[in-house]
C-alpha cells in the first residue's frame, strides 16, 4: 500500500508541475538553435486477458485478469544522463518495479547503465509490450526457460556500432536466489520462482549477462544472448568459514548456470517470421537436488518458431494490421538430469498456438488464440486453452 500511495503522490506532484506551467517540458525550437532535451516522457502499456482451459475429463472456469498495467516515466537530466523507470501493477494488486536505471551516454558507441535492468535474453524479455508480439500470452519458453520479465540490479555498458550494424549490451547483474529456506529451482517452474526482481535481493556472486544484435540486413534482426554465473543463496549469510559442514551445505544450495539464446526476427512484405532457441546448462544440480530434495534438471531447452501474415494492405489509413499466426513452442526442463533425479516426461511440454490479432492502430490490439498443449506423457494434444485479450501501449 505504501508504494501505491507514494506512486500516487509522485504523479500528483508531476501533474501539478505540468498544470502550473513549470518548465519541465521546455522545448526550445527554431532554426539553428539547439533543441533542449524533452525532459520528461510518460508512457505505459497493459494487457487484459480472459482464458478458459478445456480438458478431456474436467471443467474449468474462465479467468479474467488485468494481467499487467505499467506506467513508464523517463526523465532526461541533461543530454547525457537519463533515468528510466517502469512501475507495474500485476493482477491488479501486486506492485513491482520492472525497470529503474540511470543511463549515462558517452556516444552511440558507449553508454554506462546501472540500476534495475532487464536481462537481455531473447526477444520478449526486452520488447514485451503486448502490441509487439502475437498471441495473448507470451510464449511458454519466455515464461519458464527465460523467466520474463526477468530483471535484476546490475551495472554494465551498451552501445551501437553503426559501421558494423551491431548493438551490444554487457552487464554484471545479480543472479537467481536458489535457496530461501527451501530450494526455489525445480523442473516445474524452471527459474521462474527464483527471480529476485531487485526487492531486497541478496548476492553471493555477480553474473554476466550479454546480448549482441545484428541489424545489417533490412527487416532481419539476429540476436545472440548469454547469461553465465552462479545462483545466490541465503546460506552464505553469517557463514562460519571454519565449519566445513555448513560451508558444504551452502555450496550445495547454489548451482552454476550457463544460458545461451539465439533469436531472429524477419519481415518480408506481409509475412512475419520469428524464432528463438535457448539452451541452459546447469552445474551442481546433483548436490542441489540431494540437498533440497528438488528435481532440477542439469540441462534445459526451450524454443519456438512463429509465422504471421498481415492480411490488410501494407498501407492502411491507421496502419491497421490483421495478423493470423501460428506458433510451435517446446520446452524441456529435464533435457538432462543427474543420476539422483528421475527424468520426468511431463516436463517436456509442447504447445501449438493458433490465433489472430487485430492492430486497430499500432498501439492497440485485440487478440484471440487457442493453445493446444501436450506433455511427454500425453499421446496427443488433448488439452487446450482459449484466450482473448486486449493489449495496448502509449
Q: C-beta of 219: minimal distance to another protein in Å?
A: 7
Q: Which is nearer to another protein, 67 or 128 (CB)?
A: 128
Torsion of CA 144, 383, 354, 348, to 10 degrees: 40
From candidates 46, 51, 86, 124, binder to another protein by CB under 8 A: 86
Taking CB under 8 A as the criterion, the residue among 7, 215, 279, 309 binding another protein is: 215
The answer to whether 367 and 308 are in contact (CB under 8 A) is no
Residue 246: all three cell numbers together? 555448513
Among 60, 162, 340, 377, binds another protein (CB under 8 A): 162
Query: In a 3-state reduction of DSSP, which class is residue 291?
Result: helix
Residues 89-128 that bind another protein (CB under 8 A): 104-108, 112, 114, 126-127
Residue 172, phi then psi, degrees to nearest 5: -105, 120
**Residue 55 found at the interface with another protein (CB under 8 A):** no
User: Which residue's C-alpha cell is 536458489?
Assistant: 178
The stretch near another protein (CB under 8 A) out of 5-13, 58-66, 210-218, 224-232 is 210-218
Q: Is residue 166 helix, strand or coil?
A: strand
> Per-residue string for binding with another protein, 216-245, x by CB under 8 A?
xxxx-x------------------------
Residue from 49, 51, 84, 175 binding another protein (CB under 8 A)? 84
Judged by CB under 8 A, does residue 79 bind another protein? Answer: yes
Share in percent of the chain as helix, strand, coil (round to 5): 15, 50, 35
Which phi and psi (to 5°) does residue 16 adopt? Answer: -60, -45
Cβ density class 329-356: b for 16+ within 10 Å, e for less: bbbbbbbebbeebeebeebbbbbbbebb
The residues binding another protein (CB under 8 A) are 25, 27, 29-35, 37-38, 40-41, 43, 45, 72, 74, 78-80, 82, 84, 86, 104-108, 112, 114, 126-127, 129, 131-132, 155, 158, 160, 162-163, 165, 167, 172, 206, 215-219, 221, 265, 267, 272, 314-315, 318-319, 361-363, 393
Amino acid at each position: 500500500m505504501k508504494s501505491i500511495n507514494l506512486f500516487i503522490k509522485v504523479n500528483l506532484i508531476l501533474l501539478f508541475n505540468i498544470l502550473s506551467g513549470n518548465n519541465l517540458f521546455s522545448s526550445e525550437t527554431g532554426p539553428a538553435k539547439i533543441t533542449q532535451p524533452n525532459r520528461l516522457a510518460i508512457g505505459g502499456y497493459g494487457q487484459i486477458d480472459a482464458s478458459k482451459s478445456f480438458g478431456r475429463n474436467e471443467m474449468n472456469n474462465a479467468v479474467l485478469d488485468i494481467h499487467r498495467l505499467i506506467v513508464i516515466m523517463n526523465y532526461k537530466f541533461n543530454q547525457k544522463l537519463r533515468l528510466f523507470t517502469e512501475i507495474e501493477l500485476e493482477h491488479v494488486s501486486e506492485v513491482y518495479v520492472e525497470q529503474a536505471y540511470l543511463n549515462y551516454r558517452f556516444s552511440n558507441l558507449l553508454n554506462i547503465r546501472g540500476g534495475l535492468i532487464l536481462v537481455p535474453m531473447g526477444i520478449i524479455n526486452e520488447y514485451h509490450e503486448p502490441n509487439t508480439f502475437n498471441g495473448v500470452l507470451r510464449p511458454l519458453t519466455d515464461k519458464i526457460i527465460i523467466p520474463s520479465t526477468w530483471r535484476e540490479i546490475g551495472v554494465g555498458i551498451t552501445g551501437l556500432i553503426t559501421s558494423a550494424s551491431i548493438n551490444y549490451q554487457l552487464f554484471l547483474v545479480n543472479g537467481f536466489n536458489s535457496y530461501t529456506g527451501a530450494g526455489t529451482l525445480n523442473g516445474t517452474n524452471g527459474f521462474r520462482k527464483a527471480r529476485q526482481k531487485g526487492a531486497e535481493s541478496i548476492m553471493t556472486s555477480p553474473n554476466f549477462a550479454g546480448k549482441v544484435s545484428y541489424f545489417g540486413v533490412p527487416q532481419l534482426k539476429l540476436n545472440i544472448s548469454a547469461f553465465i554465473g552462479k545462483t545466490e543463496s541465503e546460506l552464505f549469510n553469517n557463514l562460519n568459514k571454519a565449519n566445513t559442514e555448513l560451508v558444504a551445505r551452502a555450496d550445495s544450495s547454489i548451482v552454476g548456470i550457463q544460458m545461451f539464446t539465439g533469436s531472429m526476427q524477419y519481415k518480408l512484405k506481409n509475412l512475419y517470421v520469428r524464432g528463438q532457441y535457448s539452451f541452459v546448462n546447469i552445474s551442481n544440480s546433483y548436490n542441489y537436488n540431494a540437498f533440497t530434495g528438488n528435481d532440477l534438471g542439469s540441462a534445459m531447452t526451450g524454443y519456438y518458431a512463429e509465422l504471421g501474415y498481415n492480411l490488410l494492405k501494407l498501407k492502411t489509413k491507421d496502419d491497421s494490421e490483421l495478423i493470423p499466426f501460428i506458433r510451435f513452442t517446446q520446452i524441456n526442463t529435464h533435457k538432462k538430469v543427474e543420476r539422483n533425479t528421475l527424468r520426468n516426461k511431463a516436463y517436456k511440454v509442447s504447445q501449438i498456438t493458433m490465433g489472430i490479432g487485430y492492430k486497430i492502430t499500432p498501439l492497440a490490439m485485440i487478440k484471440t488464440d487457442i493453445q493446444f498443449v501436450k506433455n511427454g506423457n500425453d499421446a496427443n494434444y488433448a488439452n487446450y486453452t482459449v484466450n482473448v485479450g486486449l493489449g495496448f501501449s502509449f
